[in-house]
Structure 1
Amino acid sequence: MKEQGQKLLFLITFSLFTFSFAQVKVSGKVMFRNKGIGDVNVSIKNSYDGATTDANGNFTFETSEKGDKILTFTHPKYIDVEKPVTIENENVSVNAELKEQINEIDAVVVSAGSIEASDKKRATALLTPIDIYTTAGADGQISSALNYLPGVQKVGETEGLFIRGGTGTESKIFMDGSLINNYFSNSVPGIAGRDRFNTSLFKGNIFSSGGYSALYGQALSGALMLESVDLPDQSSYDFGISPIFLSAGFQKLSEDKNHSYGATLGYSLLSVMQKVFNFNTDFIDAPQGLNGDFNFRIKTKSGGFFKYYGMYDSNKMGVRGESLEPEYDFALVRLKGKNTYHNLSFKQKFGKYLLNAGTSYSYNKSDLNFSTETNDLESDKTQLLTDGNYINFKAVLERKINKISALRGGFELNNTDEKLHFDQVNKHYQDLISSVFVETDLGFSNQLSAKIGVRGENSSFLNKSNIAPRVALAYRLAKDWTTSIAYGLFYQNPESKYINGPSNLDFQKSQHYIFQLQRSTEGRSLRLEAFYKKYDQLIKTFNVTPNNEQNQQVLTALNNDGYGYAKGAELFWRDKKTFENIDYWISYSFLDSKRDFMNYPVSLKPNFASEHTLSAVAKRFIPEWKLGVNLSYTYAKGRPYYDIATKDVNGQIVNFTRNEGRLKDYNALNISFNYLPNLGKKDAKAFTVFVLSISNILGSKNVYGYNFSVDGSRSSAVVPPVNTFVFVGAFISFGVDRTQDAINNNL
């Protein structure tokens, strides 16, 4: 036995010696752009022999494999490389140069001037529908929530997105690629119209405060691109109730989950709240509205997608204010408004090509009646009646070049037909804007990308055309740091309300220069952006006095001699990670802007532009209580105001500033509570939210501007309809339980 053990030991020792003698060392270095790469897996194909490179890209391992073999080099961020190698009895040295693996996740994306909230950008998504609903002071409106982002001015007396020194009409809103004409409800002077569209209709958005894509046009300042929801997860029924409104709706999903349809109906009336709160505005007719919509969505067998959305909206109100003219006691204005909108879109892949096509139609009617009241007797009414028909059609064809590069192009038609009647003035404005565009996304590497596009437009009314080039570059400075620059030329037709007759006018024009620095990590986002905008060919207007008995002054477009600039810097910080169950963001905007346009006598700071704007939003969700507590605060430096009058100097009519000053600084602190109780059976598919929202909880007496008498000797402040407003409501859904979604989106 002892002898056998010795033989066995000798055999094992000899085998180990032989095995050791047969081992060959394989070594080398793996590089990318002459720099060593760590964590690259190097191995002999179809064997277990291999190693991982160190921080400098070096590797070494031993193998007993012999003959012609394949050495593989793999890393998630680089393209796999295979190299043939012959292994005999001598050590082998093999070096490899890798190429970057370009993919949609790691590639840097051009983002100068834009903020995206969509399925593709969940990591840094901003202003998703749940964000909007839970932002105190936003009232569930997309446009109001955007006021808490950098670049957007808080202008309370009129609707619209006032972006980086631009007017509210210099920004445009799109739904599934098609232009939305009259996004806001009709209103009276001094009171802003509200969003006509329900926030829950949209699943994502891209908000561009400058340098936006060549696919969109006719906006000097910015664009908001809204993407409607696809098929619902399942059928549901929804109800909403509050002292202000009642609403009900449903969504029906087919059993094969390939199509759905739904509708909603809502009615609002403010008269109950008038009895509870001390309103600044004397509503002789309480604001009320009726709205309804219908939608269907169809997924075809070939993978195409049809979406239709149609809505009807009507509203009316009446306002009485003290007259600034001594011969009258009060000035009255009454409104009746109607609007309908239809949007049909289609998306389909054809091999390597993707077609997006859509069309929209809207009709809007605004009937304003002005009168005065003296000793309880009302004067004859003066009517301002406008109605318009708007048709938009757009088609975009896109082809992917590689994973992060694409080429797209298409055309757009936008037809306007408007009629206006005011006193003795009647006009009919018609215009067809035809546009073509081409744009490419170029991904040179995961660190460098570009977006280059050009858009051409022709206006039948102006009988002129334009060419607008746009370019943007993005570069990754480090793992979490990126920088972007953008330049673009943008055109927009003069507003039709200033065109009272044949005019030799041209497109208004702006140029955008944008620089952005951004850092994004899990749960945190920091954006710094600087911009410069140059305006040319802005509309200048003047007052003429026609020879008629009323001596009525008529505002008439004169020329395109207006000009201006806007420059500034912005900061945005959002943090969902530092504090448990707390999401907060802070935005600051500095704006330096001047314009000589409209009836301005000289270049002035616009009365809608605030030099400093600061916003802070904080949200705390308490899971065990199913309670969300939301705060928001906005500060804006007081805007300038002007009383611009007209006088005749030596037979010439000139404008001059008669009264001017600066408004008090704007301040508003808002708070809201969202409570999600358990109603009904534990396993019931139901979702309920109780909402309590208090706007301007500290009761700050903000002023939006001033109105002046004809001679300029008297004035009245333009103020919010109410200083502090309280909203209480309940929203109930049956058929689908979104409780966990609501909780998770708030964490």
Structure 2
Amino acid sequence: MKTQTQRFLFLIAFFSFFLSYAQVKITGKVTFRNKGISEINITLKDTYDGATTDTNGNFSFETSEKGNHTLIFTHSKYNDVEKPIVIENQEISVNVELKEQINEIDAVVISAGSIEASDKKRATALLTPIDVYTTAGADGQITSALTYLPGVQKVGESEGLFIRGGTGTESKIFMDGSLINNYFSSSVPGIAGRDRFNTSLFKGNVFSSGGYSALYGQALSGALMLESVDLPDQSSYDFGISSIFANAGFQKLSDDKTHSYGATLGYSNLNLMQKVFDFNTDFIDAPQGLNADANFRIKTKSGGFFKYYGKYDTNSMGVKTESLEADNEYSIIKLKGKNTYHNLSFKQKFGKYLLNAGTSYSFNRTDLNFSTESNDIESDKTRLLTDGNYINFKAVLERKINRISAVRGGFEVNNTDEKLTFEEINKHYKDLISAAFVETDLGFSNNLSAKIGVRAENSSYLGKSNIAPRLALAYRFAKDWTTSFAYGLFYQNPESKYINGPANLDFQKSQHYIFQVQRATDGRSLRFEAFYKKYDQLIKVSNLGFNDNQTQPIQRADNNNGFGYAKGLELFWRDKKTFDNIDYWISYSYLDSKRDFMNYPVSLQPNFASAHTLSAVAKRFIPEWKLGVNLSYSYAKGRPYYDFATKDVNGQIINYTRNEGRLKDYSALNLSFNYLPNLGKKDAKAFTIFVLSISNVLGTKNVYGYNFSQDGSRSSGVVPPINTFVFVGAFISFGVDKTQDAINNNL
């Protein structure tokens, strides 16, 4: 027995010695840019043998394998490397230089001049649809919510996004890539038109305050790109009731979740609120409107996706103001507006290529009737009737080069057909703007990327073409810190309403230079941006006179001799992390801008440009009370105002400034409450939210500008229709519970 045990132990020792003798040691070093890197996994393919590098990049392991084999080096941040080796009896040394793996998650994103809010990049999203609805003072409008971001001016007397010294018409809005020619409702002078489109229609947006992509054009200052929702999660029915409107709608999702359709109907009327509150504006006909829309979405078997959205709306109002002319007591303006819009888009992947195509059509009618009143007798009636038909088509083909690099190109056509009738003027304006563009995204590494593009356009009315290069660079210089630079040329046709006679006109032109530094961490975002814009070939207009009741000036574009500049600094800070259930942001803009354009006699600070703008937004959700409390505050340094007139000097008509001054500083504190009674209910199939919103809580009497009489001796202030407005509403959805989504989106 003892002898057998000794033999068994001897055999174990012998085989152990043999195996240890047969083991071969494999060593080496793994580097990236000549520096050793740790935590790289090294394995011998099809075996369990391997090791992990230390802090200096060194590794070592032993194997009993023989013959031809492959070493594999892997890490999530670097490209995999395979090295063939031959294992015999001697030690093997293998050194490897890795290359950084470029991917969409780690790669730096170009963000100079743009702010993105979409499902694709929620980590960097700044304004989602929920953000819009819960920003006090925004009234649920996307464009109003954007005024709480840097770069957008507080202009209350006219619709549009006034971006970095640009007019409201110098920014354009797109839906699923197609231009929306009439995003705002028709209105009367001195009262801004509202957003025509419901915020809930869109799942995200990219707002560019300059330096935007070559895929878009005809905007001197900036662009807002809206992306509509896809298939709903489930079928639902929605109802809304408030002190100024009522609406109802539905969304029906197919059982196989491949298609959906829906529609909404709404009616609004300000008559009740006019009886309750003291309005600054005398509405002889309270603003009212009717709107309806329909949509369908289809996912094809081959992976394509169709989206259609169509809407129809009408609005009307009548305004009575004290006349500035001695011959009349009152001036009266009555409006009837009508608009229809259709948008069809298609997306399909063909192998390595992605096709995005879309078309839109809109018809817009604005019927303005002017008159005067003396001793209760209405006279001097005139009518301004404008009909516009607009067609847009766009196609973009994109091919991925690697995970973050791509090249795309396409073309776009935008056809305008407008008819205008005003006293002795009967105008028929037609223009076809055709464009071609190409753009590439270049990812050199996870820390360096570029976007290079060029856009070419031709206008049939102007009979001229342009070429606009665009360039943007982004570099991550430290953890969470990136810097971006953008440059571009941008062109835009003169506004058609000023084309009232023959003139040798050209494209208006601007150059953008933007530098940005950004720090983005989980729940916090800090942005600093500096910009410079140079304007050339801006249109100059002359006054042809006034209509019979002296209320509507007639202006004609004469030439492109205008010019200007805008430069400034902007700061944005958003924090969702520091305080529990509190989301807040602060934005500040400094703007230095001057222009000689329109009927300006010399280069002046534009009357829509404020030197200093400050906004603060805070949102607090209280779970135990099921309540959201939202505050916002806006401040803007007083803008200049001017009264321009013409005079005859040695037989020559020239413009001069007859009256000028500076408005009082603008300020407004807004408050809103959102109550969610469904919170806490399990398996709820309904969602309800009650809203109470108070705009300009302190009742500050803001002034947007002044109107002057023909001789300049009398003036009246342009003020908001009401100083403090209270909105009360309830919104109910059946079939889907959106409560948790609202909470998760910082309600």
| Same structural fold, with TM-score higher than 0.5 when normalized by the shorter chain | yes
Quick one: distance in 2 between partners of 1:88 and 1:266?
Answer: 82
Letter in 2 for 1:357: A
1:457-606 equivalences under 5 Å are 457-544=457-544, 554-606=554-606
1:627 alignment counterpart: 627
Residue number in structure 2 paired with 1:48:
48
Contact 1:137 1:632 in 2 (8 A): yes
Structure 1 residue aligned with 2:259: 259
Contact 2:370 2:551 in 1 (8 A): no
CA offsets 1:131-184 (integer angstroms, 9 cap, x no match): 111111111101001111111111011000001110000000011111101100
SS in 2 for 1:381: strand
Task: Supply the distance in 1 between the matched residues of 2:578 and 2:54 (Cα, whole angstroms).
Answer: 33
Partners of 1:234 and 1:252 within 8 A in 2 = yes
Where does structure 1 lack aligned partners over 5 or more consecutive residues? none
How far did 1:89 drift?
Answer: 4.2
Determine the C-alpha separation between the residues in 2 that align with 1:707 and 1:551: 10
> How far apart in 1 are the matches of 2:323 and 2:474?
56
Matched-pair contact (CA < 8 Å) for 1:292–1:313: yes
The alignment status of 1:290 with 2:290, answered yes or no, reads yes
How far apart in 2 are the matches of 1:135 and 1:10? 83
Pair 1:443 & 2:443 matched: yes
Residue 735 of structure 2 is aligned to residue 735 of structure 1 = yes
Alignment deviations for residues 266-289 of structure 1 (CA, whole Å, 9 cap, x no partner): 000111111221111111111111
Partner of 1:31: 31
Contact kept in structure 2, 1:124 and 1:523, CA below 8 Å:
no
Q: For residue 120 of structure 1, what is the aligned residue in structure 2? A: 120
Per the TM alignment, residue 204 of structure 1 is displaced from its structure 2 partner at its CA by 1.3
Question: Cα–Cα, structure 1 residues 590 and 535, in superposed 2: closer, same or farther, change >3 Å?
Answer: same
Corresponding residue for residue 158 of structure 2 = 158
Instruction: Give the direction of change, closer, same or farther, for the CA distance of 1:551–1:708 in structure 2 (3 Å limit).
Output: closer
Alignment of structure 1 residues 295-334 onto 2, 5 Å: 295-334=295-334
Aligned residues: 747
User: Paired residue for 2:222?
Assistant: 222
State the Cα distance separating 1:238 from its structure 2 match.
0.4
CA gap 1:405/1:375 in 2 versus in 1, 3 angstroms: same
Where in structure 2 are the equivalents of 1:656-735 lying within 5 Å?
656-678=656-678, 683-735=683-735
Name the structure 1 match of 2:194. Answer: 194
SS of structure 2 residue aligned to 1:274: helix
Measured after TM superposition, the shift of residue 375 of structure 1 is: 2.1
* Deviation sequence 1:63-117 (CA, Å, 0-9, x none): 4444443222110011111212334444332110112212211222222111111
Distance across 1 between alignment mates of 2:710 and 2:471: 48
| Structure 1 position 508, deviation (Å) | 0.3
Please give the per-residue CA displacement for 1:618-651, whole angstroms capped at 9, x wherever unaligned: 1111223221111111111111111111111111
The offset of 1:672, in angstroms, is 1.0
**CA offsets per residue over residues 223-254 of structure 1, 9 Å max, x none?**
11111111111111100001110100011111
Could you tell me the percent identity over the aligned residues? 83
Equivalent residue for 1:406? 406
Q: CA deviation at 1:5?
A: 6.5
Task: Give the whole-Å Cα distance in 2 for the aligned partners of 1:552 and 1:713.
Answer: 18
Taking a change above 3 Å as real, the CA distance of residues 439 and 680 of structure 1, as seen in their structure-2 partners, is closer
User: 2-side partners of 1:4 and 1:611: how far apart?
Assistant: 100
Q: Which amino acid aligns with 1:443?
A: G
> Secondary structure of 1:469's partner?
strand
Question: 1:94 is paired with a residue of what secondary structure?
Answer: strand
| Amino acid aligned to 1:213 | S
Comparing 667-676 with 18-27, which one deviates more in the overlay? 18-27
Determine the C-alpha separation between the residues in 1 that align with 2:526 and 2:490. Answer: 28
Residue by residue over 1:194-215, the C-alpha shift from the partner in whole angstroms, topping out at 9 and shown as x without a partner, is 0000011111111111111111
C-alpha distance after superposition, 1:444-501 (max 9, x if no partner): 2222221111111111111111111111111221231221111111110000111111
Q: 1:414 to 1:51 in 2, by over 3 A?
A: same
Looking at structure 1, the residues matched to 379 and 618 of structure 2 have their Cα atoms a distance apart, in angstroms, of 50
Pairing 1:57–2:95 present = no
- SS for the counterpart of 2:121 is helix
Amino acid at match of 1:378: E
Quote the Cα distance in structure 1 between the aligned partners of 2:93 and 2:349: 49
Q: Is residue 365–residue 388 contact of structure 2 (8 Å, CA) maintained in 1?
A: yes
Bigger Cα displacement from structure 2, 398-407 vs 310-319: 398-407
Letter in 1 for 2:386: T
8 A Cα contact 1:641 1:663, kept in partner? yes
8 Å CA contact 2:117–2:205 kept in 1: the answer is yes
Give the aligned partner of residue 139 of structure 2.
139
Distance in 1 (CA, whole Å) between partners of 2:448 and 2:550 is 65
Across the aligned residues of Structure 1 and Structure 2, the Cα RMSD in angstroms comes to 2.1
Which one-letter code corresponds to 1:602 in the other structure? V
Are 1:237 and 2:220 counterparts? no
Secondary structure at the aligned position of 2:401 is classed as: strand
CA distance in 1, matches of 2:493, 2:573: 36
**Aligned-partner Cα distance in 2 for 1:454–1:37:** 40
Contact 2:417–2:431, Cα closer than 8 Å, also in 1: yes
Q: What secondary structure, in the 3-state scheme, does the structure 1 residue paired with 2:370 have?
A: strand
Are residues 76 and 386 of structure 1, via their aligned partners in 2, closer, same or farther at CA, if it must alter by over 3 Å?
Answer: same
Cα pair distance change 1:73/1:549, threshold 3 Å: closer
Contact 1:543 1:653 in 2 (8 A): no
Paired AA for residue 444 in structure 2: F
2:452: which partner in 1?
452
1: distance between equivalents of 2:289 and 2:268? 5
2: distance between equivalents of 1:44 and 1:586? 55
Q: CA deviation at 1:17?
A: 5.5
SS of 2:504's partner is coil
Distance (whole Å) between structure 2 residues aligned to residue 192 and residue 547 of structure 1: 22
SS in structure 1 at match of 2:445: coil
Partner Cα separation in structure 2 for residue 21 and residue 415 of structure 1: 83
CA offsets 1:641-694 (integer angstroms, 9 cap, x no match): 111111111111111111111111111111111111039985341011001111
Secondary structure at the residue paired with 1:327? coil
Aligned partners of 1:73, 1:178: CA distance in 2, in Å?
47
Distance 1:59 1:508 in 2: 64
- Please say which of residues 134-143 and 575-584 is displaced more in the overlay: 575-584
| Alpha-carbon distance, 1:607 to partner | 0.5
Q: Within 2, Cα distance between the matches of 1:270 and 1:577? A: 40
Q: 2:130 is paired with a residue of what secondary structure?
A: helix
Q: Name the SS of the counterpart of 1:47 in structure 2.
A: coil
Find the aligned partners of 1:550 and 1:701 in 2 and give their Cα distance. Answer: 28
Distance in 1, matches of 2:113 and 2:32, equals: 32
Q: Deviations over 1:523-568 (max 9, x none)?
A: 1111111111110000011224599999996321111000000111
Cα distance in 2, alignment partners of residues 424 and 489 from structure 1: 39
- In structure 2, how many angstroms separate the alpha carbons of the residues matched to 1:15 and 1:624? 71
1:369 aligns with 2:375: no
Structure 2 distance, partners of 1:603, 1:357, is: 43
Contact 1:679 1:688 survives alignment (8 Å): no
Partner amino acid for 2:464?
K
Q: Which amino acid aligns with 1:177?
A: G
Between the aligned partners of 1:310 and 1:95, the Cα distance in structure 2 is 63
* Residues 198-207 or 19-28, more deviating: 19-28
Contact kept, 8 Å, 1:679 with 1:686, in 2: the verdict is no
Aligned equivalents of 1:553, 1:474: Cα separation in 2: 47
